[in-house]
Structure 1
Amino acid sequence: MNEIPAAVAAVNTPSDAVNTHDAVNRRFSVAPMMDWTTSDCRVFHRLMSRHTLLYTEMVTTGALVHGDAARHLQYHHSEHPVALQLGGSDPKALAQCAHMAQEWGYDEVNLNVGCPSDRVQNNMIGACLMAHPKLVAECLAEMQAAVRIPVTIKHRLGIDDMDSFEHLHQFVDTVKESGCTSFTIHARKAILDGLSPKENRDIPPLIYDHVYRIKTLYPELEVIINGGIKTLDECDTHLQHVDGVMIGREAYQNPWPLLSQVDSRYFGDHHEIPDRMDVALAFIPYLEQRLAEGAPLYAVTKHLLGLFHGQRGGKQFRRYLSENGHQRGAASDTFKAALECLTR
């Protein structure tokens, strides 16, 4: 059973952040997801897996350079290995923010070249950068020059009508000249004009073979596959062709079947597998710490709504927490009462 170690402080800060994870194992990771992979979520996920690589939500360079950097960079010490994903297209700003990531003790910094929303397009962030591979290469080169931690990229198969394998091949061929050696590829293209970000996660078809072909053409690169993957058996199939698998929505909505098994299956760590209730109970000390800091109960516990997916009492647990977790003054007793729905 993983436990959250007792700590004087809940979060890492630049003064106490010491990166002891020089080598990052990306065989299995949870994708960066806006509004989902917050620090609270990552602490929860870490209770089920010691080794899964966890990613932050995308943070823009503007938010770090001109905003409250500490608010975006703070994280709980139990989250390692943890990677910061950046959004931006100014090489100097990205280098500055990569250096911040290193100072705060992140194990990796990743460049987002996959987000399709209008808001990020207007700021030259995300998937639209696939039309500018030389700029992406310049960004990654500047980031690598600024830090000692790994710098990686996450991108799509293509965008709009730039969606042939030849376009993908040219993009990777150009970007790898930056020195970046780890490519996480979402096996769908992004349609930037006409589809919402949600639709872009489902409507463009998955073409896993294009990702496999990139690995075949560039065996020296680390290639991680992402998109539509729901089970560890599917992961096994992909791992016959690529170096790692990244799972997004399924790891959030139904985390226990995946995260409780990956340490043994992919990292050679055969520690005792926690059961779902043990995970929920182990989360309570962290929850109480967050409540003492002023965090609303539901904002912290909403990430656990999928923990009992498919289990007896699971629907009642979710309903109780959803209906009562928003109440003013809701405390850990509310969460404990929700857990009692599973024993009736």
Structure 2
Amino acid sequence: MKLASLNHGRDGQLILVSRDHQSAMFVHDIAPTLQFALDNWHLVEQELQHQYELLNAGKAEIAFKFNPLDCHSPLPRAFQWADGSAYVNHIELVRKARGAEMPPSFWVNPLVYQGMSDGFLPPHGDIEMRNPEWGWDFEAELAIITDDVPIAVTADDAAQHIKLVMLVNDISLRNLIPDELAKGFGFFQSKPTSSFSPIAVTPDELGEHWSEGKLHLEMQVTLNGEHFGHPNAGQDMTFSFPQLIAHIAKSRALGAGTIIGSGTISNRDSSVGSCCLAEKRMLEKITHGEITTPFLQPGDHLSITMTPPDGAPLFGEINQRVIACEPVSQTPPHQIKR
């Protein structure tokens, strides 16, 4: 199935999207929102699948033309957003550039942080830059959405809890990260809101490209209309999604609607490009001794998508522009002149 959420209300309005992305249909009588569907997946999955088959066969009672510009992220807000770092090559590059050794544990225990989830950006929503000096960066990643996951689930059993797959742009403020990490308490200010692809798909829609909890397709990234990177998401992925789920659920159960990200997709073959500016900058420093690529600036235009060799659409496109935005006033309310 392919599911999307129209940008109506705080939790969106769930729709089914045809396989070719040409048409869609409302399913409010089955599930008004994606969160409702995930909370009741065992009850609504069969009927959603039936309606999806009718939609693709052109037999839906009421269908309309699908417009991704009308969509929010599939889950406009979520109870939990945990982003991993499954591509250890990416971590290794960043540490190598600053002359730091990588602990051996990074190869057996994935890094994970818990991000902002009470409101995401739409896939075509502007990235509002409040301070260019913060070092704004994009990170093209994959993400999965789970149903209810029991505590201490094994990686073997975790696969059955992956209900949907989608793309994500995990925005990072690189120049705020060092000071936050130095405090030993992790990311917070340096990780603002993220955005997800307009469409989330069930793993069966991915066919042979989905194998052992990995998606073996290229992530295509362009910046200002120019090719930036096309690394393969299944290649050099140290930790699969079932492994990430098992790691995150070691000491807690995960509620339905939990989103788990893969971290920045990265291949050891640097000729395929990168999925974030930080990695490209580190490669420049390692190779040439200096960094020439700037972080994002107002006016930049970013596109993130994933298309199989046969050209069939999968998730739609994350297509965002960076716009300058006035900083939020730091003046205490009682001192503001009215």
The structure with the largest helix share of the pair is: 1
Kindly indicate whether structure 1 or structure 2 has the higher relative contact order, using CA contacts under 8 Å at least 6 residues apart: 2
| TM-score with structure 1 setting the length | 0.25
Normalised to the residue count of structure 2, the TM-score between the two structures is 0.26
